[in-house]
Amino acid sequence: MSQDGKGARTLKTRVKTAKGRKLSSTLWLQRQLNDPYVQKAKREGYRSRAAFKLAEIDDARRFLVPGARVVDLGCAPGGWLQVAVKRVNALGEKSGKPRGFVLGADIQPTEPVNGADILLLDFLEEGADDAVKVALGGGADVVLSDMAAPSSGHRATDHLRIVALCEAAAHFSFDVLAPGGTFVAKVLQGGAENQLLALLKRRFRSVAHVKPPASRKDSAEMYVVASGFRAEETYA
């Protein structure tokens, strides 16, 4: 039992290991039940705790501005779409502010998100970039990717897989971003991302790593934020 900052008492939920359930699964469930971001997501109507990661990254870098056209790759379950809709004013709720547009893309069906369009689309397939630009009515101002490859349980292998996925998302962003646009993607710390960072530095004015508070401290995940897209590759 613990005390929060206001003197209210909170109980930590403990989960018993059921017959046939692995200890790792029990610990994961217990962590989920006691995660303040999971609880906050439920209270505020977000579909995942990951929504707060995007909100915190944007608080630091300010790219989801009213009027922006946003593409979210691998958008399911939709938490990032929910954040983007609010911040770019996709519903037109901010009087006097330009109205943005939010487009999600995923290979699996995603429940509709009010204010966002969603394409059932594999961004790796030929013609996917054209389909996105048609849906947007032009180039994107922001391309987001919170995608992660399925875990193999081997950290080095998982690191290489997620870097490869991030590189693919980066190349996709080169095809759909308008000049000056921003690319945001999840990576894992581990050293294999040097080639990715070199690529991004040739195509964007600024490249930075961000680890938002909502990202668990024991997680190797970080986010790369590349801003100021150059339509032509440079080698400076």
Contact 228, 202 (CB under 8 A): no
Distance between CA atoms of 120 and 60, rounded to whole angstroms?
Answer: 31
Contact 135, 102 (CB under 8 A): no
Return all residues near 55 (Cβ < 8 A) that are at least 6 apart.
83, 87, 214
Contact 169, 123 (CB under 8 A): yes
Neighbours of 115 (CB within 10 A): 20
Secondary structure (H, E, C), 16-46:
CCCCCCCHHHHHHHHHHHHCHHHHHHHHHCC
The full length of the chain comes to 236
- Catalytic residue positions, numbered: 186
The alpha-helical segments, DSSP class H, found in the chain are 23-34, 36-44, 50-61, 79-87, 128-136, 155-176, 194-203
Q: Compute CA 36 distance to the chain's CA centroid, rounded to the nearest angstrom.
A: 19
